[in-house]
């Protein structure tokens, strides 16, 4: 296994152990509200500390960007680890078993390594640029499903910034008509991993952060999929809009949602 994936895997499993031990034991008084519908607990912080400690010991010159701790230890800007210690905090706080640890490595701003770990199912998704993507050491491939009819899509609601709610609902209405169904499970990192693994045919969302996407987008690309923003550009890491699927389905999704993009989403 690639040494960077090995270290990231070790960090993700350590964070996963923290999360599982804490399931159902979080003190509600210690849950903070970062912004509208955006929560953080001591478990998020502790899991991130575990990850940071392992990464800094192995790669002390690398930068780190964590959802909870911000930018730290950046002495070599070429390499930056991007961490979401608990993607799906709201699910975790409610005991809904759909959350994950996401660790991505950017090299000069481009995803180079990705690790997503589901501590409840103990599933490990990994990717290395140019070397493919795996689920428990088995090669992942996106589905070959070519069109919307019978496709199973994943999504995430724009619950933090509700200025997008009207165009999003229009997209949802347009896409739901011909598909086999649309799932909103609450962890973007796992949704992206599921596209890479062929469990979902496609995925779209508005308002994501870099740490939500850094690991998962590489997995999809290495599994043969296409990742863009909602206009088809490659600015998804910057603007937080994402659309991912195999090439043919990706184009069909783009064409379906295009009439529903407002000026803000077209920027």
Write the CATH number for 117: 3.30.540.10
Dig out the tokens for 201 from the structure. Answer: 């045919």
Q: Is 147 inside any structural domain?
A: no
Considering the domain architecture, whether residues 159 and 246 belong to the same structural domain is answered as: yes
Cα–Cα distance for residue pair 39/35, rounded to 1 Å:
7
Q: Residue 72's pLDDT is what?
A: 65
Q: Is 218 inside any structural domain?
A: yes
| Banded pLDDT at 70 (limits 50, 70, 90) | low
The CB density around residue 31, as the number of other CB atoms within 10 Å, is 16
Considering the domain architecture, whether residues 122 and 162 belong to the same structural domain is answered as: no
Considering the domain architecture, whether residues 18 and 88 belong to the same structural domain is answered as: yes
- For the entire predicted model, the pTM comes to 0.92
In which region does residue 174 sit, left (phi positive, over 0), alpha (psi from -120 to 50) or beta (all else)?
alpha
Considering the domain architecture, whether residues 168 and 43 belong to the same structural domain is answered as: no
Q: Cβ contacts of residue 15 below 8 Å, gap of 6+?
A: 47, 48, 50, 51, 85, 86, 101, 117, 119
Q: Residue 29's pLDDT is what?
A: 45
Cα–Cα distance for residue pair 216/193, rounded to 1 Å:
6
Q: How many domains does the chain have?
A: 2
Q: Is 145 inside any structural domain?
A: no
Q: Is 146 inside any structural domain?
A: no
Whether the per-residue pLDDT at 76 is higher than 70: the answer is no
The owner of tokens 């499970």 is 185
* For residues 214-218, average pLDDT: 98
Considering the domain architecture, whether residues 135 and 163 belong to the same structural domain is answered as: no
Least confident of 8-12, 91-95, 209-213: 91-95
- Tens digit of pLDDT for each residue in 9-48? 999 999 999 999 888 766 554 554 544 444 457 888 889 9
Considering the domain architecture, whether residues 71 and 158 belong to the same structural domain is answered as: no
* For residues 219-238, average pLDDT: 97
Beta strands 123-128 and 110-118, pairing class:
antiparallel
Q: Is 144 inside any structural domain?
A: no
* For residues 80-88, average pLDDT: 96
Of 104, 80, 129, 113, the closest CA to residue 212 belongs to 104
**Strand ranges (DSSP E) for 54-99?**
62-66, 70-72, 76-87
Last residue of a domain, one of 110, 139, 168: 139
Q: Which domain holds residue 80?
A: 3-139
Q: In Å, what is the CA distance from 260 to each residue of 147, 164, 171, 202?
A: 19, 11, 6, 18
C-beta of residue 135 within 8 angstroms of C-beta of residue 220: no
* CATH assignment of the domain containing 197: 3.40.190.80
Beta strands 100-107 and 76-87, pairing class:
antiparallel
Q: Is 180 inside any structural domain?
A: yes
Considering the domain architecture, whether residues 225 and 253 belong to the same structural domain is answered as: yes
Q: Is 166 inside any structural domain?
A: yes
Considering the domain architecture, whether residues 108 and 203 belong to the same structural domain is answered as: no
Q: Residue 37's pLDDT is what?
A: 41
Whether the per-residue pLDDT at 134 is higher than 90: the answer is yes
Considering the domain architecture, whether residues 66 and 173 belong to the same structural domain is answered as: no
- Tens digit of pLDDT for each residue in 238-263? 999 999 999 999 999 999 999 999 88
Considering the domain architecture, whether residues 9 and 108 belong to the same structural domain is answered as: yes
Q: Is 11 inside any structural domain?
A: yes
Considering the domain architecture, whether residues 169 and 259 belong to the same structural domain is answered as: yes
Last residue of a domain, one of 139, 171, 199: 139
Considering the domain architecture, whether residues 119 and 188 belong to the same structural domain is answered as: no
């Amino acid at each position: 296994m690639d040494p960077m994936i090995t270290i990231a895997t070790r960090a993700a499993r350590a964070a996963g152990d923290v999360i599982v031990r804490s399931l159902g034991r979080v003190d509600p008084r210690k849950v903070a509200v970062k912004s509208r519908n955006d929560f953080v607990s001591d478990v998020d912080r502790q899991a991130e500390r575990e990850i940071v400690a392992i990464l800094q010991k192995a790669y002390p010159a690398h930068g780190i960007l964590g959802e909870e701790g911000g930018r730290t230890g950046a002495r070599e800007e070429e390499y930056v680890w991007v961490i979401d210690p608990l993607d799906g905090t709201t699910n975790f706080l409610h005991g809904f078993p759909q959350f994950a640890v996401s660790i991505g490595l950017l090299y000069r701003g481009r995803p180079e390594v990705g690790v997503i770990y589901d501590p409840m199912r103990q599933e490990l998704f990994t990717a290395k640029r140019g070397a493919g993507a795996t689920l428990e050491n088995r090669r992942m491939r996106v589905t070959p499903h070519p069109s919307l009819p019978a496709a199973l899509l994943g999504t995430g609601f724009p619950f933090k910034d509700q200025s997008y709610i009207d165009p999003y609902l229009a997209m949802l209405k347009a896409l739901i008509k011909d598909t086999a169904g649309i799932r909103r499970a609450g962890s973007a990192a796992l949704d992206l991993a599921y596209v890479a693994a062929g469990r979902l045919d496609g995925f779209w969302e508005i308002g994501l952060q870099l740490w939500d996407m850094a690991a998962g987008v590489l997995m999809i690309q290495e599994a043969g999929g296409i990742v863009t923003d909602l206009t088809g550009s490659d600015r998804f890491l910057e603007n937080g809009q994402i659309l991912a699927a195999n090439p043919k389905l990706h184009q069909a999704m783009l064409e379906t949602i295009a009439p529903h993009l407002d000026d803000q989403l077209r920027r």
